[in-house]
Structure 1
Amino acid sequence: MKHSIRVKLAVLIVTIMAVSIGAVILYSSFFVEKYYSATKQTSIKSVYYYLKDIIDKDENLEKSDNVRKLNNICERTGTTLILVDSNGNVLFDYGAGKILIERWRDMIFGQNIDEKAPHLIESGNNYKIQSATDRNSGTKYYELTSTLDNGYTVMVRMSVENFKETISITNNFYLWIGIATIAIATIIILLVTSRYTKPLLQLADISKKMSELDFNAKYTGHHNDELGVLGESMNDMSEKLERTISELKTANIELQKDIEKKEEVDEMRKEFISNVSHELKTPIALIQGYAEGLQEGIMDNPEDMNYYCDVIIDEANKMNKMVKNLLTLNQLEFGNSPVNMERFDIVSVINGVINSMKIKAEQKEINVLFEEKRQIYVWADEFQIEEVITNYLSNAINHVDENKLIKVEISEKNGIVRVSVFNSGKNIPDNELENIWVKFYKVDKARTRAYGGNGIGLSIVKAIMERHNKDYGVINHEDGVEFWFELDSKI
């Protein structure tokens, strides 16, 4: 990968190593030779000062311990040394004594070892250090000469290698070692860094999936360092994001439902106003017409006046009934009427409704049959179920034909009780079966108007049964129509 952190890290470390090795080579080329020369000068001076200190204590080097000390220091520093008294007698020498004696003689007689004059490097108190070349071996060396206070002459020689050649060899060595080290280090770095770059790549992949709202990918590493903390943080963030987005989606669904419900309510409100206006238009017109007739006195006959008053009262009663039904339906549809679940005898409720409608049935000479005598208990809201039965019976009475037969039956199966109300009469057209539950819908408008119906009763039944979450319906038979609903007999 062109932009892999693994490659970038390896390149960075290799670059640092290469720069470091280059810096070492440059330092060797420009500064090591000077450092080497300074070190040699320091070494040759330390031998000189050590010899001078011994001579101050033991002028003729009579103590063997002093001679042994001088030998040790000369051996350790690789120094050739000669000490000559004022008469030219050699009191002490170490190393190439004969060569130094010749060198001392050349100095006495003003001659040089080689063709080139020695190069003065440093001049101090009673000593000087020169750089010279041996005329026989060609070896370069530093030479310190001094005349002590007692007249003795000291000559100290220390070989100085051709350090430039040494530095060149060393630099080549560093270069090849550096190349080999960089190659090996690069391989090691790539292998070692993969342990850290792999989890980083995994975290990068997880973050990419999170940006695409895919929260299934999780960090599975086992690092106990910052990578592990980062991975756990990514997992926590993924879970929180997933939970938050889920909550947002839920809230969005609820909001959408609220919007749809508001739109439905608005539509229902418009429909309600339209239907109520339509339903009230006729009775209001009748009431207004008959009231104006009474006011103008167009009827002097008391019987006609009573008839006008009866029409006004009848139309007012119809409007009052419609308003009550609308209020009941409104409470059911908007959940303002709670469902109080209780156990009660459905047979007793049916008998009560039949008795309440007995006078109306007898007036129309309708035969209402209900032969169930035993108690049958169900779970529901007794008041609302009584309203369902009342609407079914009222609807049956209003639509019964000349046979004038209404049958109420109860059946029970697998813990489900079905109550059905049958009336002899004309079938409901198949294309109208779904619409009869819609409020203000009337299959036979003229007949509905005749008995004062407003198309709300079956809408109330639908609302009650849906609030109970139970089934209801209508069935066409050859000789009539059956309306039914079901309730639980067990919890």
Structure 2
Amino acid sequence: MVNKLKKWTNSKSLKSKLWIYFVLFTAIIMTILWLLQIVFLNTYYKSMKTKEIKKIGSALVSEYGKDNFEDIIYSTSFKRGIIIQILNERGELVLPSIGFGEPGPPRVNPMDTSIFIKKLLESEDGEILYTVDNTKLRAPTVIYGAILSAENGEKLYLYINGLLDPIDSTTSVLKNQLIIVTIMSSILAVGLSFIIASKVSKPITQITDAASALAKGDYDVTFEGGDYTEINQLAETLNYATNELSKTEELRRDFIANVSHDLKTPLTLIKSYAEMIRDISGNIPEKRNSHVKVIIDESDRLTELVNDILNLSKLQSGIDQIECNTFDLGKTTESILKKFKILTERYGYTFNFNCDDNTLVIGDEKKIEQTIYNLVSNSVYYTGEDKFVTINIKNLGEYVQFEVEDTGKGIPKEEINLVWDRYYKSGKTHKRAAMGTGLGLSIVKGILMAHNVNFGIDSTVGEGSKFWFQLRTK
């Protein structure tokens, strides 16, 4: 209860912000409504009434001269509740004429008439519109006038008088209604904003709590979404990130354990054989030389492991820059295969090398040499009992494709993407590699990604695997 109260009283919390914004929005809307309906209503009414009378006057000017003009005056005056008259130059009434049994038109003060005609004659466009106070009705009236031309050349004047009815009673009614609407809207705004703020902030609070648990190393945490697409997308992204972090953490632990094992084994052998030389074989040349050879081999293996770790670290951190130049991929591969000639002589391996003409490519030759060496070494390690490895270099026009195939057990489809991971070949039960350090394919991936080229694996279980990459020709 205390924590919930703190969240609501915290001015920077999402709940508080949403609640405050919603209430402020309602207050602004109600303020605008009050201003329009109460403060500006009278001004707005006068403006609209004035524009209406001017519009009527302009319409009558255009209708003047028609046979039914007097009927138009009568109907318009009756419908609109305004006085419409046609006066002559002396201020006398011309239209509407008074028929039998019909009430006479309201009398116009001669003083007002003379002022009206004077203003109309002084106008530039023959049209006037002004407001005067009617002392009898104690209310303002709108006067519209326009000059009309009679057939005999005499000037006639269109006179329209519209009363601006007082709207105090209307304003009073609106004010009472607005008070009720304001109270109801305020209560509704507070309650609705509380519900919305709680509903929006709840999944975000849950995500925050889950993120705190993740920061403490709990990778089993699950981020839950809510009723909103954006929050669901955030939860899905964080769940994906959590899964990837969990994999990375697992790889990190495996890497440390495996490297520790690979470091410990040669160090143990070096120490053991050094002690044997000291205690047993120091004076026996044959045994001493055999023991020294073990020490040298293990030292070389240790050096190779350290170098691979350093190379992998440089590639992943971006320190090791790619220096591109043009070189012949076929000749480079042929030169590297000479290093594996000893495997043919001692262990019966067969290397089938097929190369197209014109295999000039662009790339970092030294790093591509390392890539080819690691891929061939990997195929040697995993090829079948026939000890057969095929290397193909194909000219595809814009690209030259390097391929190395083995005849081993192949890789299941669900594990192909994992092959590039460090120490994948050893799995959970790590054992010392017969050759290499277990980091070769990770280094290959880093080099090829730094070159921004296409690469991949084609493998069929029981038939073998093919590793390939492409380099641009220009």
TM-score normalised by L of structure 1: 0.46
Rg larger for: 1
> Which structure is richer in relative contact order (CA contacts within 8 A, separation 6 or more)?
2
